[in-house]
Structure 1
């Protein structure tokens, strides 16, 4: 009986290691986009990923046909939504000017390709609201607001 359990544990570990080898890079990139950290300096993103992978490993035997990537991504999103979005603004990165909620929706919709309805269900928002937030955030990323007009001699004022 112990040999069988040891065999099952070893198989589980190999399956999980193969999953992590294939999925961790993409999940880390998604977490980095969420936290709006620099890709080379992303401790919050790494913490999100580590916690999500730990949860996925703990529930590995109960997946029963569920996609492990979807489970791990959901954990990254939920952990970000429950903790990070209350206290973390962006510190750099492409999505830094977006609010945490906007980053979450843009990453799920645009980077991860999650359908609007699935994103809405995951976040507990109406699908129309998710669509509106995504459109506004995408416009903000693609067309950032201009800064204030320069002040000084070259600002266009005619000297008297």
Structure 2
């Protein structure tokens, strides 16, 4: 089963608008490492995350891989998101790229995770996936969600926003 690690930036963008449940559209287990969840203190994201975690979301950290992840990053400090990369290191499978995935807006996390063999996506990718998988989420609703994410701090250029909205419509 695919393990889907969610970083703090995506938790923030989905949590600010009350849409963390869109993560459930993925086929696989959602993992929000404890330190990542602890790093989210901004409201309303913190409250929305607390409620989302009550739904039996895995929060374990692959402790034996944290130092390896830190050493791969060198001088870069990505805070608690290092536990996301530790999860990628622990569960990657060179013969199955879909064994582990990462949801993050952080460029360093995305590049490193992809380089280690994980599939990557962003909050906008989560919305697109939910629109495709969930018959109850219309493309119109998904477009509104994309715009709300954009308005709450995860800004897209006009071109990227229209591309995300266009993918939802397809």
Regarding TM over 0.5, the answer is no
Q: Indicate the structure with greater helix content.
A: 1
Quick one: higher RCO (CA 8 Å, sep 6+), 1 or 2? Answer: 2
TM-score normalized by the length of structure 2: 0.30
TM-score normalized by the length of structure 1: 0.32
Q: Considering only CA atoms, is the larger Rg found in Structure 1 or Structure 2?
A: 1
Q: Indicate the structure with greater strand content.
A: 2
